[in-house]
Chains A and B, each alone.
Chain A
Amino acid sequence: MATVTAGVTRTRRQGHLLARPLHPLAWWLWALGLAVAASRTTNPLLLATIVAVATWVVFARRTDAPWARAFALYLAAGLAIVLVRVIFRVVFAGNQGTVVLVPLPEVSLPGAATGIALLGDVTAESVLAGVYDGLRLATMLICLGAANALANPRRLLRSMPAALHEVSTAVVVALSVFPQLAESFVRVRRARRLRPVAEKGRVAALRRIIVPVLEDALDRSLMLASSMDSRGYGRRGSRSVVLSRLTAGLLIAGLAGLCIGVYALLDGTAPRYLATPMLLAGIAVGVVGLVVSGRSVHRSSYRPDRWRAAECVTAAAGLLAGVAVFATAQVDPVDLYPSLTPLSWPQLPWLALLGIVVALLPAATPRSESGVVGTT
């Protein structure tokens, strides 16, 4: 008897660990946690750790799908952000600090731009300020890039609440239009060169390419619309008119509450009771609206992504990183923003570091089998 139970347990555990793609929402929560952590510090040691953690997880978990290969682009974009920041500091705000790295003359602009000085001595303080600032932005970008590389953006749309299904279908369709436009643009431009007439003027030439491309796109969208219609998109099924009016009303009321709440929250002079309470009320009404209309939507979902232990671990690990950095900000904010005047070596806040390292955990969750082949 005991052996049988043990066998069952083992089978179940293996079922959890089978290769499968994780729920896209888990990856996005994980990445957002890391990005929030990055937004709360300029400490280069912490930021570098976050980038390392994100990169490690991406390389451990990504598939060979086209969106996964874009991660390198995000890394490059991050590097570019840091460089641009540093260059701006050196060119436009050069003469702060005392530790001179490269002595350069200062150029005062004449005429209308009097008072603006370019260049000046390149100081360690200004370079470091640029690096810290740029690194923070770059790290946040790389975190989002990691989420994009790990979770198929379209699958994220599929896990939208049922009430938003029609909107998310529209977004998916819009996404697939771009590669098609690019394709027909190349084709039309190639064909255009075959005509004996050389177009006069760039605008006319461009117009003669864009008109057929757009006509092509319009034809395609009409065909798509008729195909979607024939296949049941937007079926009302048994939904009653009263119910759809009710849900529409709830959603609009919720949205209005949300807008007023956000406005009051950001505008300090607005009455306080309009701020957080209104925001919460708006969210509550909106959620009720989504749930009610979701119930009445007559559709089902093919192989939905499931939320299991691995998803919990992944999301929690990312959020924990964010929480750890927030907690450090309460206890020990100095280490999160290393001093530039006077220059000092950044210290490592252990609590924040620990939180960030926990975000490595998802690298050990079951690896997904290879995803979609080819480009989309």
Chain B
Amino acid sequence: MIEFEQFSFWYPGAAKAAVEAVDLHIPEGELALVVGHTGSGKSTLLRAVNGLVPHFTGGHVEGRVVAGGRDPRDSPPREFADTVGVVGQDPLAGFVTDTVEEELAYGMEQLAVPPQVMRRRVEEVLDLMGIARLRRRALRTLSGGEQQRVALGAVLTSSPRILVLDEPTSALDPAAAEDALSAVLRLVHDLGATVLAAEHRLERVVEYADRLVVVHEQRVRDGKPAELLRDAPLAPPVVELGRLAGWDPLPLSVRDARRAAGALRSSLTGVPARVAPVVPGDARDGLLARRVVVAYGDAVAVRDVDFTAAPGEVVALMGRNGSGKSSLLWALQGSLRRSAGSVSVAGQDPAAASRATAAALVALVPQQATDLLYCDSVAAECTAADQGAGAVRGATRSVFGELVGGAGIDDATHPRDLSDGQRLALALAVQLSGRPRVLLLDEPTRGLDYTAKARLAGQLADLAADGMAVVVATHDVEFVAHTASRVVVLAEGEVVTAAPTQEALAGSPVFAPQVAKVLAPLPWLTVDQVAAALTARSVAHG
């Protein structure tokens, strides 16, 4: 159905190919999952299927692609609208009309589908995607998951034989992501569509994939998921656990892993769960908030919340969308006016302090980290931050250098050209320039791949070890398991759980990470902890 033959592509002016010598054959009805780091050429590969690459981007192509029997090089993407359906990351950015029903019909109108057929297909797709009750709603008022369902439906109405999904869930929160993914899986199973998808949340999809396409350093390998995942650069926790325990075949789902894990569980029973002990400092030197209330008119976003973050600890703030996480963070930082309660950082209220003083007390990295950046190069951004904070020249640049690790980034790079992870690192470096006592992060892991997440987890741990109090609002359970020492769960603006990570996550059906689900009732949360426990056990036995 989709063929790549010795396909290489260079973006205009680029010396290095975005993808090189790709040979790939995807037969009809397969779900092929494309994995790879951000910037590895995944998107290029996907966009070549309907000719967006090179028609939309420009650039140089070698080799050829055939999708549904036609070569996208001969005709522009619009002539492929009836063969290839494309769904992108941000559904809202791709909407052309403004209500659900019109959006579903838009593609068919362009294809001149007769009105009766159009009417019938819209009704069918409304049911298929479970969005019939939304038909008259304005697209902007829908939740993220609903929007992505509409975007999928809008592509389906043109009945394409190939679906290309470019990280359909990476801009969504986990609940919305589940919502969108279940719709995709339904298409694959019930309609037998040929699907080529890139997806960050591997752990949810990999068990359904027929083929895994690994893009690594511009090269492409493909094969059965269980075989390729043995040494793929990115893998979900359950696969890493399988690699550690040497299971064969490699389990792809929690269910398979649990059935394979009997021996591991019994060998770990009795081994003490030694989680690196965190000794937090005095909360009075960190963040101390009492009975904080945030209300917008009649709507109460945060209701009488007591919250502390002591120097040296990483606190995870969890809860569903709209539970008040962001409001609490902004109120703790001081920009959002609280209706009642007190906040003190080392004895001072950041809301009452001047901007310069407040920056030395508490820093916040907002959800859209790029909103913080406004200069046209990395160097200018760092200099501006140094000047603002009165720091030594070059301080921010060196912090940024540490944060991005070995990756040598040119000073003249425009912040928009950085990868998601690097951009977050730059925003973090800028916010750290004031040397704050407390660092708040709002959903930092959105759009990051496993490697970038692991790097961020390490950085936060280092900052905490240096005596900073770190608070992370996130949905990402695996990230919390790696990073946080304490978890606070909010619901409807109130604290419903406040406990050490182990206790808060392990027993919970919603919040338990994959490793905890496989090993329950044993207390381990991450592969690293299991590895440490196995070493400790072999030392004790040996």
Q: Which residues in A have some Cβ–Cβ distance to B below 8 Å?
A: 154, 169, 172-173, 176, 179, 187-188, 190-198, 207-209, 211-212, 215, 219-220, 223-235, 237, 298-304, 371-376
Residue from A172, A232, A371 within 8 A of B110 (CB atoms): A232
Residue among A227, A228, A233 with most chain B CB within 10 A: A227
Are A191 and B372 in touch, CB under 8 angstroms? yes
Are A376 and B388 in touch, CB under 8 angstroms? no
Sample of 20 further A-B pairs with CB below 8 A, known A190-B366, A196-B359, A299-B110: A176-B95, A191-B371, A195-B372, A197-B384, A197-B388, A211-B374, A212-B373, A224-B94, A224-B95, A230-B52, A230-B81, A232-B78, A232-B107, A232-B110, A233-B96, A300-B118, A303-B119, A372-B136, A373-B141, A376-B98
| Chain A positions within 8 Å of B81 at CB level | 230-232, 235
In the complex, the chain B residue whose C-beta lies closest to that of A301 is B109
| Chain A positions within 8 Å of B102 at CB level | 302
Are A231 and B154 in touch, CB under 8 angstroms? yes
A192 to B374: give the CA distance in the assembly, Å.
Answer: 9
From known contacts A187-B371, A373-B138, A376-B98, infer whether A194 and B158 are also in contact, taking CB-CB under 8 Å: no
Task: State which residues 101-127 of B face A: CB under 8 Å.
Answer: 101-102, 105-115, 118-119, 122
| Chain A positions within 8 Å of B434 at CB level | 196
Are B433 and A235 in touch, CB under 8 angstroms? no
In the complex, the chain A residue whose C-beta lies closest to that of B373 is A212
Are B356 and A196 in touch, CB under 8 angstroms? yes
From known contacts A154-B98, A231-B158, infer whether A197 and B366 are also in contact, taking CB-CB under 8 Å: no
Are B136 and A196 in touch, CB under 8 angstroms? no
> Nearest chain A CB to B155's CB is how many angstroms away?
7
Are B96 and A220 in touch, CB under 8 angstroms? no
In the complex, the chain A residue whose C-beta lies closest to that of B440 is A194
Are B93 and A374 in touch, CB under 8 angstroms? no
Residue from A194, A211, A231, A237 within 8 A of B335 (CB atoms): A194
| Chain A positions within 8 Å of B221 at CB level | none
| Chain B positions within 8 Å of A219 at CB level | 93
In the complex, the chain B residue whose C-beta lies closest to that of A223 is B93
Are A373 and B385 in touch, CB under 8 angstroms? no
Are A374 and B109 in touch, CB under 8 angstroms? no
> Nearest chain A CB to B301's CB is how many angstroms away?
15
In the complex, the chain B residue whose C-beta lies closest to that of A193 is B335
A253 to B270: give the CA distance in the assembly, Å.
Answer: 90
Residue from A196, A228, A299 within 8 A of B355 (CB atoms): A196
Minimum-distance CB pairs A-B, first 4: A197-B388, A232-B81, A196-B359, A232-B110
Are A229 and B77 in touch, CB under 8 angstroms? yes
Residue among A154, A190, A230, A301 with most chain B CB within 10 A: A230
Residue from B138, B364, B371, B388 within 8 A of A375 (CB atoms): B138
From known contacts A190-B335, A198-B388, A212-B374, infer whether A233 and B78 are also in contact, taking CB-CB under 8 Å: yes
| Chain B positions within 8 Å of A209 at CB level | 374
Are A227 and B93 in touch, CB under 8 angstroms? yes
| Chain B positions within 8 Å of A192 at CB level | 371-372, 374
A299 to B110: give the CA distance in the assembly, Å.
Answer: 5
Q: Is B88 an interface residue (CB 8 A)?
A: yes
In the complex, the chain B residue whose C-beta lies closest to that of A65 is B138
A373 to B100: give the CA distance in the assembly, Å.
Answer: 11
In the complex, the chain A residue whose C-beta lies closest to that of B365 is A194
> Nearest chain A CB to B76's CB is how many angstroms away?
7
Q: Mark B42-77, 1 if CB is under 8 A from A, else 0.
A: 000001001010011000000000000000000011
Are A230 and B158 in touch, CB under 8 angstroms? no
Are B52 and A229 in touch, CB under 8 angstroms? yes
Are A191 and B52 in touch, CB under 8 angstroms? no
| Chain A positions within 8 Å of B455 at CB level | none
> Nearest chain A CB to B157's CB is how many angstroms away?
10
In the complex, the chain A residue whose C-beta lies closest to that of B49 is A230
What number of B residues sit within 8 Å (CB to CB) of A?
Answer: 73
6 A-B interface contacts by CB (under 8 A): A191-B372, A196-B434, A212-B373, A234-B78, A303-B105, A376-B98
Q: Is B389 an interface residue (CB 8 A)?
A: yes
Residue from B138, B154, B387 within 8 A of A374 (CB atoms): B138
Q: Is B431 an interface residue (CB 8 A)?
A: yes
Q: Is B430 an interface residue (CB 8 A)?
A: yes
Task: State which residues 397-451 of B face A: CB under 8 Å.
Answer: 416, 430-431, 433-434
Q: Is B79 an interface residue (CB 8 A)?
A: yes
Are A194 and B431 in touch, CB under 8 angstroms? yes
Residue among B109, B140, B335 with most chain A CB within 10 A: B109
| Chain B positions within 8 Å of A233 at CB level | 78, 96, 110
| Chain A positions within 8 Å of B138 at CB level | 372-376
Are A197 and B389 in touch, CB under 8 angstroms? yes
| Chain B positions within 8 Å of A179 at CB level | 140
Residue from A169, A187, A223, A371 within 8 A of B94 (CB atoms): A223
> Nearest chain B CB to A120's CB is how many angstroms away?
49
Are A374 and B374 in touch, CB under 8 angstroms? no
A300 to B114: give the CA distance in the assembly, Å.
Answer: 7
Task: State which residues 350-409 of B face A: CB under 8 Å.
Answer: 355-356, 359-360, 363-364, 366, 368, 370-374, 384-385, 387-389
A359 to B6: give the CA distance in the assembly, Å.
Answer: 70
Are B374 and A224 in touch, CB under 8 angstroms? no
| Chain A positions within 8 Å of B50 at CB level | 230
Are B88 and A223 in touch, CB under 8 angstroms? yes
In the complex, the chain B residue whose C-beta lies closest to that of A66 is B138
> Nearest chain B CB to A13's CB is how many angstroms away?
24
A229 to B384: give the CA distance in the assembly, Å.
Answer: 40
Are A194 and B366 in touch, CB under 8 angstroms? yes
Residue among B50, B356, B372 with most chain A CB within 10 A: B372
Are B371 and A229 in touch, CB under 8 angstroms? no
> Nearest chain B CB to A228's CB is how many angstroms away?
6
Q: Is B80 an interface residue (CB 8 A)?
A: yes
In the complex, the chain B residue whose C-beta lies closest to that of A220 is B93
Are A212 and B371 in touch, CB under 8 angstroms? yes
Are A224 and B96 in touch, CB under 8 angstroms? yes
> Nearest chain B CB to A1's CB is how many angstroms away?
32
Q: Is B137 an interface residue (CB 8 A)?
A: yes
> Nearest chain A CB to B20's CB is how many angstroms away?
23
Are B374 and A208 in touch, CB under 8 angstroms? yes
In the complex, the chain A residue whose C-beta lies closest to that of B141 is A374
| Chain B positions within 8 Å of A198 at CB level | 355-356, 388
Are A235 and B110 in touch, CB under 8 angstroms? yes
Q: Is B8 an interface residue (CB 8 A)?
A: no
> Nearest chain A CB to B531's CB is how many angstroms away?
38
In the complex, the chain A residue whose C-beta lies closest to that of B358 is A196
Q: Is B86 an interface residue (CB 8 A)?
A: yes
Are A194 and B154 in touch, CB under 8 angstroms? no
Q: Is B342 an interface residue (CB 8 A)?
A: no
| Chain B positions within 8 Å of A301 at CB level | 109, 115
Residue from A195, A227, A237, A298 within 8 A of B88 (CB atoms): A227
Are A224 and B93 in touch, CB under 8 angstroms? yes
Are B96 and A228 in touch, CB under 8 angstroms? yes
Residue from A207, A232, A302, A373 within 8 A of B137 (CB atoms): A373
Q: Is B535 an interface residue (CB 8 A)?
A: no
Are A176 and B79 in touch, CB under 8 angstroms? no
Are B105 and A302 in touch, CB under 8 angstroms? yes
A226 to B385: give the CA distance in the assembly, Å.
Answer: 36
Q: Is B99 an interface residue (CB 8 A)?
A: yes
Q: Is B84 an interface residue (CB 8 A)?
A: yes
Q: Is B90 an interface residue (CB 8 A)?
A: yes
| Chain A positions within 8 Å of B114 at CB level | 300
